[in-house]
Structure 1
Amino acid sequence: MPTTNASSESTGFSPAEHAAIKQRAAELRAEGKQGAKNADGLQAVLDSIGKMTPEDRLIAERVHVVATANAPELLPKTWYGMPAYATADGKVVFCFKNAGKFNTRYSTLEFQEAARLDDGEIWPVSYALQTWSPAVEAKIAELVKASVS
């Protein structure tokens, strides 16, 4: 997967990833009404990501890839215009809040009440993201898996 840091730059989704996303959307539409709803949610997420600044878009694309690979049971949708991933009954588990949307210095990955991250009496539910790296990818994969376990 492409990564970025101060010395490298990613182009975001690869052509193969774009093709796979479009194919999956077509499959969902073919499944009927629920499939069309899921495909519309996926398209809304991709459209939301496409409107972001290049820096935010890079991170959002990678979050999307990691989220769909590690929690395929979650359905992509937008939530307040942000890419989000929800349970089959529509409860948002987590969302990506891009820095450009609120003019902040970093984007965040925010877990909601449906996420199963409980750890005693206190635990983090929001993580700042400034760049993409293998370490960031590994941490997000761990969090996504935990949020649905």
Structure 2
Amino acid sequence: MSPTAKKTVRGSAKTADTTFTAEEKAAMKARAQEMKAEACAGKDRAAGERELLAKIGEMPAPERAMARRLHDLITASAPMLMPKTWYGMPAYARDGKVVCFFQSARKFNTRYATFGFSDQAMLDDGDLWPTAFALKALSAADEAKIVALVKKAVGG
């Protein structure tokens, strides 16, 4: 099949040159494994935290330090959130649904890491509000903002 030939994917046309990157494929594979494990055995807090900390441990030093600090801030400010992995990255969920997450820059070959919130976060502020933040480093002021956002996200 030529590079411009079209393939049918669930009834829609998709060109061969719009395939997923290796990083995206790896993230989807990680998410499929996470969902399978959750469906088979469910996860307790300790298991989710072990997996999350293992993923943090695989990150390069600067991101590992940021992810670990975020973990400490989130678990202290919103202890009702359950640590887990989501697409192979650290995330925090309530009632099985991700509220906030960290994405490594290295994982997706981007120039900065990202800390974000899903639509489960109660951050609504009019018709427009931020749901993701670029992270290059964490200052004390940044940490205070993140704690305030996490508390607001969980309704606190």
Q: What is the distance in 2 between the residues matched to 1:70 and 1:39?
A: 18
Instruction: Summarize the alignment of residues 46-61 of structure 1 with structure 2, pairs less than 5 Å apart.
Output: 46-61=53-68
- Tell me the percent identity: 52
Name the structure 2 match of 1:73. Answer: 80
Of the three residues 92, 97, 122, the one matched with 2:98 is: 92
Q: What's the CA shift for 1:101?
A: 0.6
| Ranges in structure 1 where 5+ consecutive residues have no aligned partner | 1-32
Check if 1:127 corresponds to 2:133.
yes
Q: What is the distance in 2 between the residues matched to 1:100 and 1:67?
A: 22
Q: What's the CA shift for 1:66?
A: 0.4
Q: What's the CA shift for 1:37?
A: 2.1
Q: What is the distance in 2 between the residues matched to 1:54 and 1:81?
A: 17
Q: What is the distance in 1 between the residues matched to 2:105 and 2:124?
A: 26
SS at match of 1:102: coil
Choose between structure 1 and 2 for higher RCO, CA contacts under 8 A separated by at least 6 residues: 1
Q: Which amino acid aligns with 1:77?
A: K
Name the structure 1 match of 2:113. Answer: 107
Q: What is the distance in 2 between the residues matched to 1:77 and 1:66?
A: 15
Q: What is the distance in 2 between the residues matched to 1:62 and 1:106?
A: 16
Q: Supply the RMSD in Å over aligned alpha carbons.
A: 1.3
Of the three residues 32, 38, 45, the one matched with 1:38 is: 45
Hey, which of these two has a bigger chunk of helix by percent?
A: 1
Q: What's the CA shift for 1:109?
A: 0.6
Check if 1:118 corresponds to 2:124.
yes
SS at match of 1:100: coil
Q: What is the distance in 1 between the residues matched to 2:120 and 2:110?
A: 26
Give runs of ≥4 in structure 1 deviating > 6 Å: none
Give the aligned length.
115
Hey, which of these two has a bigger chunk of strand by percent?
A: 2
Q: What is the distance in 1 between the residues matched to 2:51 and 2:122?
A: 25
| TM-score of the pair, normalised by structure 2 | 0.71
Instruction: Summarize the alignment of residues 12-23 of structure 1 with structure 2, pairs less than 5 Å apart.
Output: none
Q: Any idea what the Cα deviations from partners look like across 1:78-103, whole Å, max 9, x if unmatched?
A: 0000000000x200001000111111
Report the structure number with the largest CA radius of gyration: 2
Check if 1:145 corresponds to 2:143.
no
Q: Which amino acid aligns with 1:62?
A: R
